[in-house]
Amino acid sequence: MRWAQKLTLFFEMRSYGVCEWWARKLGIQTDRVRVGFVYASFFTFGSPLIIYLIMAWILEHKHYFKLQREKPKTSIWDL
C-alpha cells in the first residue's frame, strides 16, 4: 500500500492540471471533468488520452502561445 501512495502522490504533484483548468473555465468540479475524461476514454478507445496529452503540453508551454494584448482605445483620437 505504501508504493501506491507514493505513486499517487507522484502523479498528483506532476500532473499538468488539464482537468483543473477545464473545470475552472467551465465552472464545475474537477472530479466531474476527470470522470468525463475516463468515460470518454473507455467509449472512444483512448483517443481522449491523446487530446489530454496535447492539452497538457500546451498548458505547460502556454507562455509561448500568449499573444500581446493591445490596450483598448479610449478615444477616437488614439491610434
Q: What is the pLDDT of residues 32-58, one digit of tens each?
A: 988 888 888 888 988 888 888 888 888
For the whole model, what pTM was predicted? Answer: 0.58
The C-alpha cell at 5 is 501512495
Task: Work out the number of other CB atoms within 10 angstroms of the CB of residue 21.
Answer: 17
What does the pLDDT read at residue 78? 59
Whether 70 has a pLDDT exceeding 60, the answer reads yes
- Report how far apart, in Å, the C-alpha atoms of 6 and of each of 12, 15, 21 are: 10, 14, 24
Q: Contacts from 19-24 at CB under 8 Å and sequence distance 24+?
A: 21/59
